[in-house]
Structure 1
Amino acid sequence: MYRVSSSSSRQSDVKKETNSTMKIRDSNVRVTRSRAKTLGVSMSPSKPAFKQEPRRVPRPSNKRMASDNTKVCSHKRRAVLKDVTNTLAESIVCTHGNVKAAKRGQKEIKQIAEEGLVDVDAEKSKLAEDLSKIRMVESAQNSKDREVTKKKEDGSDVTDCHKVVDIDANVQDPKYCSLYAASIYDSIHVAELEQRPSTSYMVLVQRDIDPTMRGILIDWLVEVSEEYKLASDTLYLTVNLIDRFMSHNYIEKHRLQLLGVTCMLIASKYEEIMAPRLEEFCFITDNTYTRLEVLSMEVQVLNFLHFRLSVPTTKTFLRRFILAAQASDKVPLIEMEFLANYFAELTLVEYTFLRFQPSQIAASAVFLARWTLDQYNHPWNPTLQHYTRYEASALKTTVIAMEDLQLNTSGSTLIAIRTKYNQQKFKSVATLTSPERVTTLFSR
């Protein structure tokens, strides 16, 4: 009897503990040791009364597995995108039915192209092909314009802008700055009006020298520039510095040659790559002036000019105007270039040409050079009128005065420039003359 009661009481306790444990497990409340002691529940895990079957996990389908693998691979590829080629980006685009992945792939392809991971050789070849097509079109257009401008003009001023040849289209020489030439010469045309020498300083400022002495000095400086093989820009800048200084400073007769060699020294330092030494300029004057005298004059000239040496001269405009004159010629004539330079240099020794602007002298030199070589066609055309900004009628006075220098109607004995351009390397252009005076062209 006792055994039955004790057995039933034990079963009753086990049943209570099991019920309490199940209640606690069903609730989400955390079971602590104090709470378990109050409830009379043991904290040791109880073994299940039956063997629990393992939970079956459904296997993913092939499509879902492929999609998951694609996501993982795409994530890794994006992490090392800078080290891969376009083939990885193409695999991202080929995601099965995923529009967002395709857009993401296109964006990554664009990023790859921007980072320079495209085929460089293929891009270069494509660019070269496009440039060749553009040049073919430009050359065809230029040849068409040249044919139009080649026709004989009737002598009147032409203003048809459609006949103007673009002289900056196919220029490969970097010294012409073809991309910025138009803007540069816009500024130069404005700058030539500033810092111009006085046209009457021989009367207002100078009392000890006259235009003839000035011409003798410049004629001698031409020989000096030939002796040291100086650039023509150096000679033009030298004359400009002399005239600008004498426009406001009185110079004695015995110091005129000192001013000339000093201005050539300054111009050589500005224009030449290897300028002659100071001692050489003293030697060329037969040591008439000492080294200290030349240095003192150099300081005086530079302080007066405030070191403003960047001024447009006739040579500055002459390069561009010669290029415009040869734009419509099938074969450019080197004699025309030499003649234009010859006429421009003849004006350096003449004081009276200070009244003309440098661009006007350069345009007149090209006009007279074309007329000297060809009297059957009018020397002026729309291209020259466009780039020089002068009509043919506006050059009449300058061209006639320049022709007088060519024919030496005044009987000048200054022959340095004529001797220079009578050499074979300049095609002896100093001996060329026109059988008909240019005045007949303006009287038509």
Structure 2
Amino acid sequence: MTSEPDIVIIGAGAAGIGAARRLAGSGLSVMIIEALARTGGRAWTHPTPLGPLDLGCGWLHTAEHNPWVGIADQANFPVERRASAWGRQFRNLGFSPAEQQAAGEAFEAWNRQLAEHPPHSDRASDALDLQSPWTAYIQAISGFINGDETERISAQDYSAYDEASSDNNWRLPQGYGALITSSLPAETELHLDTPLVAVDLNDTRVSLETTVGHLRPHAVIFTASTNVLASDTIRWPSELDAWRDAAKRLPLGHNEKLFIEITGSNTFEPETHVLGDPKDAATGSYYIRPFGYHVIECYLGGAGARAAAAEGTDAAFAHAIDQLVALFGSSVRGCLRPLIASDWAHSATIRGAYSHALPGEAEARSNLARPYDDRIFFAGEATHRSYFSTAHGAYLSGIRAADEAVAVLGRKKR
């Protein structure tokens, strides 16, 4: 391990890999340290006999502006550009066309209210129509998008994302996590299973204590999650209190995935989708046989994901299968078998899904993105003003932090 590299990147997720790609060929010595035994962070494609399954990010959101699309094309990584079944209720099971239209109109009315007449409280729930029968539906969608319910979401922050994003959400048959992890430059010095223990700023260089030794880089690019930055897992110097405070205002939401194997004869058609119960804020969203794989992907957000974390994986699978049985009939129960599940809430080096700003705290993203003393630079999805909660927002933030570090080190070396 090089003890005094020019730059140490903390975290080998999409932001860290983005920074490393930007720094490749810069002439600077660059090292990544990663607490996990793998790269990718919240991007994780898990290989299974049924196909590669993304336990973390799985959609190339706002694909026309997503840099991972170009990276995939350059690497001959297949991209599925056709529209998905997301948002269409297969055979209108448990959700009639009239109900789907009413629920969609209620959600769009809430979006318009946030954008055109945002509440003075900046609390997204204050834009809800309390007379609407579709509040639970909106809460469920908020859980999928934000990882939390509308009471804990900044209206300004949500609208910034909504305005910047599009409905062009593409997919990667080989896995988003697989693309991200394969994109790390080969020349980058990488150390896995290397948690950061402490940061010290009482020197011209930054002192980093890890579980395998000390490092003294000129600059650090910190890309770990806001929940890690806000926690006491790492010993932080008081000089970074303002950044840790900003991180607390940008907590990670709750999102989990369950994959259910489909066995035997069944009626499940490839590339279809159902919402389990549109009047339940904790409902699962079920993508059936993506890419033809014999699996059902259950996506949980907000209340549903919190329940899965609290009650355990077995209970989460049981609830998901019950919802599917309620829609497709009791005959499918014997065809459904738990396969694999995420557990982001209990991952000690991540501690959740992706960030949302608390009401009144949208500016925390800019505060978190500020460099400290031309030595520590912050990246990660939470630092992007409009593409937060996405892998491409993380990637772009890594590029931004790398450019900041290069500019500073270039001045110091002149």
- Give the TM-score of the pair, scaled to structure 1: 0.22
Taking CA–CA contacts closer than 8 Å with sequence separation of 6 or more, which of the two structures ends up with the larger relative contact order? 2
The answer to which structure has the higher strand fraction is 2
The answer to which structure has the higher helix fraction is 1
